[in-house]
Amino acid sequence: MDYTATQSGFRQQPNMHMGNSSMDGTDGSQLFEDTSGVAAGPQAGYSNQQAGLQAAGFSGQSLLSDPMSNLAMAYGSSLASQGREMVDKNLDRFIPISKLKYYFAVDTVYVGKKLGLLVFPYMHENWEVSYQQDTPVAPRFDVNAPDLYIPAMAFITYILVAGLALGTQNKFSPELLGVQASSALVWLIMEVLAVLLSLYLVTVNTDLTTIDLLAFSGYKYVGMIVGVVSGLLFGRPAYYLSLLWCCAAIFVFMIRTLRLKLLSEAAAEGRQVRGSRNQLRMYLTMSIAGAQPLFMFWLTYHLIR
């Protein structure tokens, strides 16, 4: 009997101890500190702070509806618009964007006719540029109008064809292709600058602009592409024959085009300009036209082996 009571008491003693421990949570014998109340403190403080701001009238909607905020936003938008107008003015002063749009106003029909005129100009009769209210019509309406689309695309295509030709010779490298592109670009710029200087020295009154000269000088890349591709496909004799044809075509094209441009003053008066002034203009026209075949051969002969 005593043993059973002792055993029963022995079994009930741990339960009493656990109950006391759970009731007295702040006892010094506790192994781990309860931090749940500490973690909830900052969140509660943040929510209380946000509620206080909203109660004080500092919500997002009140900031947007504030007159000072609206005034600042209006002032910032006006500054942005003024800065955009200033950039457009200065950019148009150095790069005439409005004029460049004219030279790229082309379509598929114009490009096809212009390429045919550059390769076979002998049967073309009317070389005058059409005007509408003292303004030349867009290139897509007049095949005689200069454009920059064909020269730009021809220049890029020439660089790609030059890379292909160098690859067939096992000489291709990005550095060499870059040298080829920069060399062609430098020669083009030097040619345009030389023509501008010649026009200034001869004192020719003409409506030719720098962009016009850039367009006319860029047309020779079409013949250069034809020559290089013919050489790659059919050998060096085909290169010489096709390049010779294209050189003659670009010579005739430049003569008939620039003759009207450089003699525009005399053509407007309906008379021929005689004397030394007329000779200088004709020599200048012949020099510009004759330089095109030289550049075409110089920039392509090393691509064909």
Cα 37 to Cα 26: distance, rounded to the nearest angstrom: 14
Q: Distances from the Cα of 145 to the Cαs of 48, 120, 179, in angstroms?
A: 75, 17, 32
CB 228 within 8 A of CB 161: yes
Task: Compute φ and ψ for 131, nearest 5 degrees.
Answer: -125, 150
CA atoms within 13 A on the CB side of 120: 4
Residue boundaries of the structural domains of the chain: 147-301
Q: Give the C-alpha separation, 208 to 126, whole Å.
A: 19
Digits of tens for pLDDT over the chain (305 positions)? 444 444 444 444 444 444 444 444 444 444 444 444 444 444 444 455 444 544 444 444 544 456 666 676 776 777 667 666 665 555 555 556 677 889 999 999 999 999 999 999 999 989 988 888 878 899 999 999 999 999 999 999 999 999 999 999 888 899 999 999 999 999 999 999 999 999 888 877 788 889 999 999 999 999 999 999 999 999 999 999 999 999 999 999 999 999 888 876 554 444 455 556 677 888 899 999 999 999 999 999 999 98
Which pTM was predicted? 0.68
Sequence length of the chain is 305
